[in-house]
Structures are given as C-alpha cells and as structure tokens.
Amino acid sequence: MAVTEDIKIKPSSEELLKTGPSRAPRNMGQIIRFLLLFAGGILMVMPIAFMISTSLKWPHEVYNLNFIPDEPTIENYTYVLEDGRFYWWFLNSLIIAVITTICSVIFDSLVGYTLCKFRFPGRYIIFIAILSTLMIPTEMLVIPWYLMSQQFGWLDTYWGIMFPGLMTAFGTFLMKQFFETVPDDFIEAARIDGLNELQIWWTVAMPLVRPALAALAIFVFLGNWTAFIWPLIVTNSVEMYTLPVGLSSFGDEADVAWELIMTGAAISTIPTLVVFLIFQRFIIRGVVMAGLKG
C-alpha cells in the first residue's frame, strides 16, 4: 500500500526531465540568514563605497552625505598623484610591508617549526610566553619601543618602523599549529636521507605548509600596510612617513581635507586588493585550516 502511495507522490523520471527537480521551499530560517548576511555585506561595503564617493567630490561637497557626487571630479586624484610626497609614502609603505612580511614569514615559521617538531626542556613555557604577548596591546608597547629606538638611534629610520613586526606571536602560533599537521615521518625520512635540520625545514616542511605561509604573508602585509600608530610615533620627517601617516597629514587642527585623505586611501587600497585577489584562495584555505586546528 505504502509503495503505491510513494509511486504516486514521486514524479516520474519523464516528468523530472521535463520540469526539472522541484526545489524545497526556503524556510524562514534560511531567509533570515540570507537577510543578515546581506545586511552584513552592505555594512562591509559601505565604508569602501563612501571612500570612493568622497574621493570624487569637491571640498565644498564633502560634508554632504549624498552618495553620488553632484559634480564628480578626478581633481583629487590628480592632486594626490602630482604631489611627490605621495610616492615617497607609497614606497616607504611598500618597502616596510615587503621586508616585514618576508622576515615575519621566515622567523615565525622557524620558531613555530622548532616549537612544534623539537623536544627540548622549556619548550612549552617558551610557547606560552610567546603566546602571552598577544594579550599586550600595541598602545602599551609603543613607549618601550620608542625608548629602545631612541637608545639605538633608530628613530625616523626604516629599521625603527620595522623592528617590532619582524617576528609576531600570532605568526608563530599560526605556523606552529600548521606544522602540527606535517607528519613526523616526513621529517624523520628526510633525516635518514641525510638532510640537516635547516634543509628539512626549508625543503620538506615549508612546502607542506604553503597555504599557511601565504595566509600569514597576507595578514602581515596588510597589517603593516595599514599600520598607523607606531609609524606615526617613530617617524619625524615627512619623507619617512608611511602611507597612512602621510594621508593623515592632509588634515590639520583647523581643517581636514577628507576628499584628499579618501583619495589617498582609495589609491593605497589597490595593492592590498591585488594581494588579496592573487592569494585569496590561500587566505580562505589558511583561515579555514587555522580555524580547524585552533
């Protein structure tokens, strides 16, 4: 009896071929989830859209909250790009972000690998000590960093801007977690095959955590590209400014040239967009894997 009913309810294969399989109706939960995600998406995109909108406005229109400028102009872009300082700041940011990223990827992965794959007394304590630095906010660290930079003569230098970020606790943690996924057999096989420990790290372990390296590189690059407080404190001369610090100098106590700041910000977003578009699959994989491990 039940079989007969089933046959009646289910469409025949011929019917399915004609109409296609019917989709289950969306339930309220799905609709609410979709709406929430949509609202979240709008919230994320709004500031970027507003940044671009403002960069296309004349100064007198900046404080109007209209989204589409009455008289759109690219004058701000021309002004910023013709200002020689912008290129300096862009170059400074690029040099700092690239060098810091390379150093961070190498040092974080070396320390992460060592903490993960070597057994030595105090290993756990060292790891906890490194992790605990994550709890200290940058605002607390800038004064000791500044005093240190002053003592070593690093004020207003690339080295002074870069040194706090050459190795990161987050990167060390991330890489250690990823190296946990590399089976010890790989390391031991390489040891038997005659590689020294540094060769094993570079030839065997590093290629196996490539997604994590890419994710870390992107995080560090973006972090340094957008860093503001420390570069602002450690630099004095306009030539040593990084892009965010330089852009903020478009304003003073009397007036803030928002249209120029937004123009500079829009231009400075381009490298981060390029980096993201190239490495986005690594970021997503990296974040997913880090999430799984954590």
Partner 1 sequence: MANLVIRDLVKTYDKTEVLHSINLEVEDGEFVVFVGPSGCGKSTTLRLVAGLEEVTSGSIEIAGRVVNNLEPKDRDIAMVFQNYAIYPHMTVRKNIGFGLRSSKAPKAEKEKRIESVAELLGMTEYLDRKPNQLSGGQRQRVAIGRAMVRDPAVFLFDEPLSNLDAQLRTQMRLEIKKLHQRVGSTIVFVTHDQVEAMTMADRIVIMKDGHIQQVGSPSEVYHQPANTFVAQFIGAPSMNMIPGRVEADNRIALSTGGELAFQRPLPQGRPVILGIRPEDLHPGEVNSVIEGAVNVREPLGHETLIYVGTSEGDVIAKADGRTPPGIGEVVKLGAALENMHVFDAESGEALA
Quote the least distance from Cβ 282 to partner 1, whole Å. 15
Q: Which residue, 210 or 293, has its beta carbon nearer to partner 1?
A: 210
Q: Which residue, 20 or 194, has its beta carbon nearer to partner 1?
A: 194
Quote the least distance from Cβ 199 to partner 1, whole Å. 8
**272 burial level (CB within 10 Å; 0-12, 13-18, 19+):** middle
Tokens 């089976």: give the residue: 183
Quote the least distance from Cβ 200 to partner 1, whole Å. 11
Quote the least distance from Cβ 7 to partner 1, whole Å. 39
Binding site residues, partner 1, CB under 8 A: 183, 185-186, 188-195, 204, 207-208, 210
Q: How far apart are the first and last CA of the chain?
A: 53
Q: Which residue, 165 or 211, has its beta carbon nearer to partner 1?
A: 211
Q: Which residue, 129 or 189, has its beta carbon nearer to partner 1?
A: 189
Tokens 């060098």: give the residue: 99
Quote the least distance from Cβ 183 to partner 1, whole Å. 6
Separation CA 200–CA 262 (nearest Å)? 47
Q: Which residue, 71 or 185, has its beta carbon nearer to partner 1?
A: 185
Quote the least distance from Cβ 245 to partner 1, whole Å. 40
Q: Which residue, 167 or 195, has its beta carbon nearer to partner 1?
A: 195
Tokens (6 digits) for 291: 């999430």
φ, ψ at 251 (rounded to 5°)? -115, 160
Q: Which residue, 200 or 234, has its beta carbon nearer to partner 1?
A: 200
Quote the least distance from Cβ 112 to partner 1, whole Å. 19
Q: Which residue, 211 or 244, has its beta carbon nearer to partner 1?
A: 211
Tokens (6 digits) for 233: 């404190």
Quote the least distance from Cβ 191 to partner 1, whole Å. 5
